[in-house]
Amino acid sequence: MTPIEKFSNIQEAIASLNEWKERLGLHHWTIKVELAEPHEFLLKGCSGECEYILTTKSAVVRILKPKYYGERILKYCAERILVHELLHLAWGHLDTDNDGFNNLAHSIMEDMARALICAKYGIDKNWFDDIEYKEEDNETV
């Protein structure tokens, strides 16, 4: 069994959301998941976002549809994106205006999302890599 690379429909995304809500102790949150196009995001250039209100414990998680992901050195993995965005809820009280701290926290959340998925599926962290080299990359410079 491997991580869910692409949600085939919204029902599959909801099922994964419900599983990860329990795994991460977020069962008391009201969360909607959306498979979104770039223009539906509040943030630009990201593969997922989590818009939340801590006081009401409510959130909308947007996951970029795979056809808009483009060429990147990390494999598109809808389940990883979902877990990463849910970690924002677990860490929401640490949100600050300090960009340096936010970048560090975001990086840690990404590491944690990958580690959690690796643990669930018993896979190596390199599973997420999507690095390809072309034949001409082997030529002497």
The answer as to CATH 3.40.30 being correct for domain 10-130 is no
Q: How confident is the model at residue 141 (pLDDT cuts 50, 70, 90)?
A: low
- pLDDT of 32 over the 90 cut: yes
pLDDT tens string 89-111: 998 777 777 778 878 888 999 99
- pLDDT of 5 over the 90 cut: yes
Burial 79-91 (b: 16+ CB within 10 A, else e): bbbbbbbbbbbee
Percentage with pLDDT > 70 across the chain: 96
CB-CB contact of 74 with 130 (8 Å): yes
Domain boundaries, the chain: 10-130
